[in-house]
Amino acid sequence: MNPDRILAIATKNLRQWSRDRQALAGPMLIPLVLMFLCGVLFGFGGDDWNIGLVNHSRGPRAQAFEQTIRDSRSNITPYFKVITTDPAEADRLVHQGRLQLVITIPADFDAKIAAGSTPTLETAVYNINTDMMKNARLRLDRVIQDYAAAHHPDRTLITITQHTTRTSDVWRKTFIANSTAILAVMVGAALNTAIMIAREWERHTAKEVRLAPRPLADLVSGTILAGLVAAAVNTAVTLAVAMLAFGVRIPLDRVPLLLALSGGVALACAGLGIAIGAWLRDYRTIQPLLMVTFAGSFFAAGGFSSIPTLPRAVQAFDRFWPPAPVFDTLQAWTWMTDPPNPTSFAIAAALAGIATITIAAFTLKRRL
């Protein structure tokens, strides 16, 4: 291997990359789109749920129940945000789907309790799907349970205590944004190197590469080097947005390890990118295929929600799907108070790097 030639190839690739707006923006597109859409759609508001709350009773028990609704909260936000207390407006909003739950405390709430019977709340729901309804109904169950525990301990035979490893939950938007930064490491390394290799065929320069004396090792090394630099830029931009807009804060003492692990992952992905680039040679195929596969992996392999939270069948799939341990380990090392030992992951990433670079060299050799 010749360091001058490696550097020359890397410089050439980086120059082409920096001048090609499509290649520059493409690998950042999917992480940033997923960060903004999923972060805002699925996790920006914390745990609060918009409701209408109508209290027809002036009695102290009804007031106490209303207060329980207003005070109920997770360890990051309240569970409810009361949008209106006006019956007509609440009715209009729930019929339009602007509210998915309206709770009405009946006028006889106190009287029924005083008489020893059970009062009945009236609720109206805009039941567009089971997910929305689960969120609305289960919060109300929580309030009833809390109210019962506080005011009717004789009927609350079981209560719940909760212990968490962190003081407060990691907001979902933050978890998702960090996942997209991890995604940027993988997409950036794989896609940039794949396009750099495919460009040799697209721009009809593969012939010059073929005519160069023993080009393989230098070409692979130079492309990997350029791909890693490009991926680092893509990841830095994504991470900066994640930190500024979505509250991602990586503990400083974990940064060196996370960088080392991410470097191993990027190396493996860069090797994969070269192999795919040499195999398909058409960046119109490569770009969408890699973008969609990685975007899909974000959802199915622990980017959107941690692997232990996924259904059994998906967990079984993730045992064999390489992006899964990447999301799992890097998320764990970002957020967990006591993360798992990273040694086996680091060894696996190194072996994957060796394997993909070997495959890349073999594929490229055949093409050249």
Partner 1 sequence: MTGPGPILAIAIKDWTRFLRQPFLMVISVVIPLVFIFFYSLIVPVSNTNPIMIADHDGGPAAIRLTATLRDLHSEEGPYYDILTTDPAHADSAFHQRGALATIIIPEGFSSSVASGSGQVDLRLNNINSDYSKNLRLRLDKAVRDLNDQIAEPVITVHETRWLPHDPTMLGYISTSLLLFGCLYAAMVNTGLHVASEWNDRTVKGLLLAPVSRGTLVAGKVLAGLGQSLLSVALVLAVLIIGFGFTPTGNLAAMAGIVITTLLMGAGIGAAFGVASKKTLAATSSLIALAILFFLVSGNEESMRGLAWGQPITSLWQFSRALPTTYAFMSARSIFLTGDSTNLASNLGIVIAATVIVLGFAAWLLRRAYSNLTGGQ
**With left for phi above 0 and alpha for psi between -120 and 50, is residue 204 left, alpha or beta?**
left
Comparing CB distances to partner 1, the nearer of 194 and 361 is 194
Tell me how crowded residue 122 is: count the other CB atoms within 10 A of its CB. 11
**∠ CA 118-125-135, rounded to 5°:** 90
**What's the min distance (Å) between Cβ of 29 and partner 1?**
5
**What's the min distance (Å) between Cβ of 157 and partner 1?**
5
Among 7, 14, 6, residue whose Cα is nearest residue 216: 6
**What's the min distance (Å) between Cβ of 49 and partner 1?**
8
**What's the min distance (Å) between Cβ of 322 and partner 1?**
14
**What's the min distance (Å) between Cβ of 209 and partner 1?**
21
Comparing CB distances to partner 1, the nearer of 7 and 245 is 245
DSSP per position, 67-102: HHHHH-B-SSSBSEEEEE--HHHHHHHHHHTS-SEE
**What's the min distance (Å) between Cβ of 79 and partner 1?**
8
DSSP 97: T
Three-class secondary structure of residue 149 per DSSP: helix
Among 271, 324, 315, residue whose Cα is nearest residue 296: 324
Cross-sheet strand order for the sheet of 101-105? 80-84, 49-55, 101-105
Comparing CB distances to partner 1, the nearer of 17 and 65 is 65
Comparing CB distances to partner 1, the nearer of 29 and 229 is 29
Comparing CB distances to partner 1, the nearer of 14 and 23 is 23
Contact 138, 162 (CB under 8 A): no
Tokens representing residue 252 in the block: 């400083």
CA dist 61 and 69 (Å) reads 12
Comparing CB distances to partner 1, the nearer of 45 and 263 is 45
